Amino acid sequence: MKPQPPHVQSSRSPFIVGDCALMTIATGTKAQNLREFREGLLKVPPSSIYHHFWGRLLTPRFDEPEYSNDFAAWAYRALHEKALAERLSAVDPSGYDDLEELRIALVDIVEITLDARENVPSARSDQMFHFLRGKLVVMDSEVTIEHPDQLPAVLPGLSTGSVYYHFIDARRRTPDKYDDFCTWLRGWEPDYDHVISRLRELDPFFSSLKEIRRLLTAIFAEPADDRGAVTADALPPGRVARESS
């Protein structure tokens, strides 16, 4: 199959909605204690690091993730290392130029914990960390959007795969790490500048894809005059609406 052109171009051409499905693959690397976890982090392919930050969003899970990546969740649930979990959860992958830098940052955090412990924190044998990797299958959705004003009506009907493809995956495949909606709206400047800034503020780390879809819909559905902030009832319970700058 020949490589296809990107779905979205930075112009007023239609937005061709893509979709995707994730295949999860075991890497064969697993860890029962923190030292093995460190070794695993050093040896797994970069795609595994990516999967445990982002691909996880496309795997079966329930409601809101408590931690922003699988590493942090394991540190808390299996090792009962809350401080380590907090530090790992604070790692923002988009702040790193590539996955190798991200890998080093994770290893540094783990080593700080290892240095501070006399005993190596361990998990039960049935709570090992299994390093996984993903394979993304990208397809068409047969949905095309002609104008940004159509987005509030179209977004709620999109699959979570489409949300992932355009809002998460786009950050990896585009040079400026923008999501596809922002890229497309830049072709309509300056009409949607305020929406672009609202989208750039949306933190996808602690939301499920369904929640991201709901938040995106809320942003696009706001009347132009009100697009200063997402209203409190558009946000998940317990989150505070941010004031626009």
Partner 1 sequence: MNDILSTYETAVGAQIVAQLRQLGKVLHGARVVHVNSTRYGGGVAEILHKLVPIKQALGLDTSWEVVNGDAAFYESTKSFHNALQGDRIDIPPTLLEHFEATNRRNADELRATLEDADFVFIHDPQPAPLLALCPDRRGKWIWRCHIDLSHPYRRVWRYVRRWVRDYDASVFSLPEFSQELPHPQYLIAPSIDPLSDKNVDLTAREVTEIRERFGLDPEIPLLVQVSRFDRFKDPLGVIAAHKLIDKVAPTQLVLAGGEATDDPEGALVLEEVMEAAAGNDRVHVLMLPPDAHRTINALQRAADIVIQKSIKEGFGFTVAEAMWKGKPVIGGDAGGIRLQVVDHYTGFLVNTPEGAALRARYLLHRRDLLHEMGERARRHIWENFLITRHIRDYLSLMIGLRMNNQERIEVRT
| 94 vs 127, beta carbon nearer partner 1 | 127
Residue with smaller CB distance to partner 1, 68 or 208:
208
Kindly state the smallest distance separating residue 118's Cβ from partner 1, in Å. Answer: 29
Using an 8 Å Cβ cutoff, are 214 and 202 in contact? no
d(CA 122, CA 33): 4
Residue with smaller CB distance to partner 1, 98 or 142: 142
Is residue 104 within 8 Å of residue 84, measured between CB atoms? no
Torsion of CA 228, 234, 238, 243, to 10 degrees: 0
Smallest gap from Cβ 213 to partner 1, in A, equals: 12
Least separation in angstroms between CB 132 and partner 1: 6
Site residues for partner 1 per CB under 8 A: 1, 3-4, 7, 18-19, 21, 23-26, 28, 30, 47, 60-63, 126, 128, 130, 132-142, 157-159, 161, 210
* Comparison of 151 and 158: residue with beta carbon closer to partner 1: 158
Contact 207, 219 (CB under 8 A): no
Q: Which is nearer to partner 1, 161 or 204 (CB)?
A: 161
> Minimum CB separation from partner 1 for residue 114, in Å?
24
Smallest gap from residue 78 Cβ to partner 1 (A): 12
Distance between CA atoms of residues 8 and 16, nearest Å:
7
27 sits in which H/E element: strand 15-31
Contact (CB, 8 A) for 67 and 89: yes
